[in-house]
A and B are shown apart, each in its own frame.
Chain A
Amino acid sequence: MGAKMVDFNGWDMPVEYPSVGGLMKEHLAVRNGVGVFDVSHMGDIHIAGPQALEAVQHITMNDAAGMGIGQCRYSAMLYPEGTFVDDVIVHRLGEEDYLLVINAGTREKDVNWVIENTRQFNCKVENLSDNYTQIAIQGPKGVDTLQKLTDADLSKVKFYWFTHGTVCGLKNIMIARTGYTAEDGFEIYVPTDESTSARVWNEVLEAGKEFGIVPCGLGSRNTLRLEGKLPLYGHEISDAINVWEAGLDRFLKMEKGEFVGRDALEKAKTKGITRTLVGLESVDRGIPRDGYKVRDLQGSEIGYVTSGSYAPFLKKNIALAYVPVEHSAIDHEVAVEIRNQPVKCKVVPTPFYKRPKKQS
Chain B
Amino acid sequence: MAYPAGYKYTKEHEWLKIDGGTGVIGITDYAQNSLGDIVFVELPKVGSEISAGKTFGSVESVKAVSDLFAPVSGTVTEVNEALNTAPEQVNKDANSTWMIKVKLKDPGEASGLLSTADYEKFVAEEGGH
Contact = CB atoms under 8 A, between A and B. Distances in A.
B37 interface: yes
Contacts, number: 41
Size band of the B side of the interface? 10 to 19
A286 interface: yes
A339 B42 CA distance: 11
Interface residues of A, number: 17
A285 B84 CA distance: 9
B93 to A, nearest CB: 17
Contact of B60 (A219, A223, A287): A287
A289 B36 contact: no
A298 B42 CA distance: 24
A223 B63 CA distance: 9
A22 B64 CA distance: 13
Q: Is the interface of A mostly helix, strand, loop or mixed?
A: mixed
Contacts of A309: 62-63
A198 B106 CA distance: 58
Nearest to B87: A310
A13 interface: no
Nearest to B39: A310
A15 interface: yes
A23 B36 contact: yes
Interface in B29-70: 33, 36-37, 39-40, 42, 58, 60-63, 65
A22 B84 CA distance: 22
A339 B58 contact: yes
Contacts of B37: 22-24
B65 A310 contact: no
Interface string B59-100: 011110100000000000000000010000000000000000
Interface string A251-294: 00000000000000000000000000000000001110100000
B14 to A, nearest CB: 18
Contacts of B84: 285
A16 interface: yes
A219 B84 CA distance: 24
Name the 7 nearest CB pairs between A and B, nearest first: A310-B39, A24-B37, A22-B36, A219-B63, A310-B62, A23-B62, A287-B40
Interface of A: 15-16, 18, 22-24, 219, 222-223, 285-287, 289, 309-310, 312, 339
Given A16-B36, A24-B62, A310-B40, 9 more contacts: A23-B36, A23-B61, A23-B63, A24-B37, A219-B36, A222-B63, A223-B63, A287-B39, A339-B58
8 contacts: A16-B63, A18-B36, A23-B37, A23-B62, A223-B62, A286-B42, A287-B39, A309-B63
